[in-house]
Structure 1
Amino acid sequence: MTESGNPSQPVNVNEYDASHIQVLEGREAIRRRPGMYIGSTGERGLNQMVYEVVSYAVDEHLAGHADTIDVTITADGGIRVADNGRGLPVEVEEPTGKSAVERELTQSSFGSKPRTGYWLSGGLSGLGLCVVNALSSRLKVEIHRDGHRWTQEYEKGIPITALTRNEESSGHGTAIVFLPDADIFETTLWSFATLSQRLQELAFLNGGLAISLTDERPERPVRYHHTEGLRAYVAHLNPYPPSLVHSPAIAFESENQDQTIFVQVAMQWNTWPAGEVRSFANSTRTHEGGAHEQGFRTALTDLVNDYARRQRHLCADDADITAEAIYEGLTTVISVKLAHPVFEGSTRTRLRNPEADAYVQEVIREHLTDWLDHNPNEAAAIIRHILNAST
């Protein structure tokens, strides 16, 4: 083989050796290829920075240690996320000699986080805080834990101060303030409406968790707290009572025996032709659906047909009701929380776990059948609505 530029001169293979292979790790890899970690360097990636820090705080709630998250868009264009959880751990870990909080903010670690006691986690499977730190021009962490207030500051992912123990404190929780790096992002302007919508969504998905958003440019506080969880979410999506086929929304939840999958479902039919199915896995919106959504659709189609025949709305020789008729005017929110979620693609928009399909089917068949049997009038109205949609 010869070089195309000079057919008579042989290629010197020694010009390409191991020294030409560049391996990027940690902070350098994140800053060189940010899109691989947060999806883009545009507005979507910018917002993902907030969602990753908030996901850590939501994990604290799911572990039973936090019930409040306060998010602030600061006057200088930064973001502050504070929770009343346990506080990031501050002890020094051997053999690195670094504090646990510094490792959390500087080292990527795929998989579960046993030291924090989470059986499930949202965000980027342990990468979230590390990625946010690496892509911020400045970041400060403040922790109330172990009887004191602790602080540490970073620039572009590099610690510029040691973890410092300050005055005594009886509080608990973590506050992270970061300023996204303008040299990396195409825009560093936050959309209050976009952040507000996602935070409200998280409050719906995590019933009992209070989430506030304050904008200091000027101040515009909002607070979300939905004790009814997904039922309140469906009511929010179906805001016109005259159009409802039944009320309130059907809602149920269940956890498997191994406590590795927790399923929540809320659903309500209305007379609008267009329905909507919104699915989530560990509070992440799965826009492309996946195993949990497939399980719901399979079980619901079979169940509605079985119920319609059992109640003699369909004769023995009638064709099955189509899925299209069943889903006309149906608004549904499906949320699953898994110990080990498997997503397709870096954007995490489709869930692959087959056990989610099987367990969602089991939950739908058991709980929805029970609801239909105990609410015969509402069940009859739903079946009439579906039969009308099929004609």
Structure 2
Amino acid sequence: MSGETTGYDAARTEELEGREGIRKRPGMFVGSTGERGLHEMVFQVLSWAVTHVLAGHGGGSVDVTLTRDGGVRISGDGPVTAARDTGGTGLETLLTSMPTATEAGGRLIVNLGHGRMGGELFVANVLSSRLTAEVRCGGTRRVQAYARGVATAPPAAMGSAAGSGTTVTFWPDTEIFETTRCSFALLAERFRQVASLNRGLGLSLTDERPEGGARAVSFRFPDGVRDFVAALDVEAGAVLQPDVIGFEREDSRMAGTMEVALLWNGSHQERIRSFANSRATRQGGTHVDGFRDGVAAVVTAYARAQGLPDAVGGFWADRIGEGLTAVVSVKLDHPEYLGATCELLGNAEVRDCVAEAVREHLGNWLRERPTQAAQVLDRILRNVPQD
């Protein structure tokens, strides 16, 4: 075939990413037209809202409401740039065109879905039967309405407003999606994760649809991923709550930060949850590899120092994970993912950075808490096959 029929030049790319291209191929942008794609669209808009809240002051809040008429309202109190948007800049541009490049910000960008970042508001606008965008800034509330990605009127002042922030309300298009009914339980679980991965962030979810009255949940975790690990342990049926080991570190070698928390309990299951820029990395990656390297190295070294059986046959590496619950979260300026699903982190330098930090912090914890360290080692030894 000639390059004419196979190439994707600028005009072809614009056609694919334009309004009609998105509506013809929604799966390219939200994954599917089923429930999974519906939730992906919600997560994409939420990613934008959370990113802007965290960029402002790090401790703001985002409120999400599932409205009785099938809409999704996402309101954040983050900073507003180019709020008086009447000339094709700021929020109006994000809603009506695909960005030519990924937004700058690196580790500050929160990615809650599975797609690429950039264009999330435009995609949601195009795949919604209608959308309203509200900006609160300078004491004024300005609103603009859209229908399937096209503005129905210019932005208009709609009265006064206190504080600053944005609200985007959209109604997923029944011509596109097989279902437009979001799952409260699925969204609530993901919101809990996101709040714990971003210390100080407040997230609330309100469902106005039940006939018996609205239901709501809200999340804010002052201890970050330590709270996440504690919750995972409770879900697994823990009766006594062991100490959660946790630390944070910034490392210029990987151009980012890490936050790690872990504990051992009495179960035989390993539960490790990993994230990169708040995106769930279900296939793991270099951050998980580094975590495992660090844990295996420090526990084996500590056991040898205590005169316990050596790591003959590599049993430490095989057994250390039993009963281990952990969350490994990294936030990188330039995350690199392997594979089409972006669920496997590939940044090579991350492995050594995480391993080194785990060796240091877990090693200190074992030395400073000999009673708890003995309990951890005793649990591992009970699972070691005897000669």
Please tell me the TM-score bracket, short chain as reference: 0.7 to 0.9
What aligned pairs does 1:151-170 form with structure 2 within 5 A after superposition?
151-170=143-162
Separation of aligned partners in 2, 1:259 and 1:87: 30
Q: 1:71 aligns with which of 55, 64, 79?
A: 64
In the alignment, does 2:322 pair up with 1:328?
A: yes
Separation of aligned partners in 1, 2:204 and 2:289: 33
2:60 aligned partner, one-letter code: D
Provide Cα deviations, 1:27-51, integer angstroms capped at 9, x if missing partner: 2222121111111111111011111
For residue 318 of structure 1, report the CA deviation from its aligned partner: 3.9
SS at match of 1:98: coil
Aligned to 2:103: 113
The alpha-carbon distance between structure 1 residues 237 and 136, as it changes in their structure 2 partners (threshold 3 A), is: same
Aligned to 1:223: 218
The alpha-carbon distance between structure 1 residues 374 and 132, as it changes in their structure 2 partners (threshold 3 A), is: same
Provide Cα deviations, 1:268-302, integer angstroms capped at 9, x if missing partner: 11111112110011111111111111111122222
The alpha-carbon distance between structure 1 residues 121 and 110, as it changes in their structure 2 partners (threshold 3 A), is: farther
In the alignment, does 2:290 pair up with 1:299?
A: no
The alpha-carbon distance between structure 1 residues 305 and 320, as it changes in their structure 2 partners (threshold 3 A), is: farther
SS at match of 2:338: coil
The answer to whether the 8 A contact 1:59-1:118 is kept is no
Q: Which sits farther off after the overlay, 220-229 or 53-62? A: 53-62
Provide Cα deviations, 1:350-379, integer angstroms capped at 9, x if missing partner: 111112222211221221112112111111
SS at match of 2:374: helix
Separation of aligned partners in 2, 1:299 and 1:147: 52
Aligned length: 367
Q: TM-score, normalised by structure 2?
A: 0.88
Aligned to 1:347: 341
Q: Considering only CA atoms, is the larger Rg found in Structure 1 or Structure 2? A: 1
For residue 70 of structure 1, report the CA deviation from its aligned partner: 0.7
The alpha-carbon distance between structure 1 residues 161 and 298, as it changes in their structure 2 partners (threshold 3 A), is: same
The alpha-carbon distance between structure 1 residues 357 and 28, as it changes in their structure 2 partners (threshold 3 A), is: farther
The answer to whether the 8 A contact 1:88-1:173 is kept is no
Separation of aligned partners in 2, 1:71 and 1:48: 15
**RMSD (Å) for aligned C-alpha atoms:** 2.4
Q: 2:50 aligns with which of 58, 79, 82?
A: 58
The answer to whether the 8 A contact 1:273-1:328 is kept is yes
The answer to whether the 8 A contact 1:243-1:271 is kept is no
Following TM superposition, the consecutive aligned residue runs of length 4 or more in structure 1 with deviations greater than 6 angstroms are none
Q: 2:83 aligns with which of 65, 68, 90?
A: 90
In the alignment, does 2:250 pair up with 1:277?
A: no
The answer to whether the 8 A contact 1:71-1:213 is kept is yes
The alpha-carbon distance between structure 1 residues 259 and 87, as it changes in their structure 2 partners (threshold 3 A), is: farther
Q: TM-score, normalised by structure 1?
A: 0.87
For residue 137 of structure 1, report the CA deviation from its aligned partner: 1.0
What aligned pairs does 1:1-391 form with structure 2 within 5 A after superposition?
23-65=15-57, 67-87=60-80, 89-90=82-83, 97-109=87-99, 111-114=101-104, 119-123=107-111, 124-218=116-210, 219-239=214-234, 240-242=237-239, 247-257=242-252, 260-315=255-310, 318-391=312-385
The alpha-carbon distance between structure 1 residues 234 and 17, as it changes in their structure 2 partners (threshold 3 A), is: closer
Gaps of 5+ in 2: none
Separation of aligned partners in 1, 2:85 and 2:227: 43
The percent identity for this pair of structures is 41
Separation of aligned partners in 2, 1:318 and 1:197: 41
Separation of aligned partners in 2, 1:118 and 1:91: 26
For residue 346 of structure 1, report the CA deviation from its aligned partner: 4.2
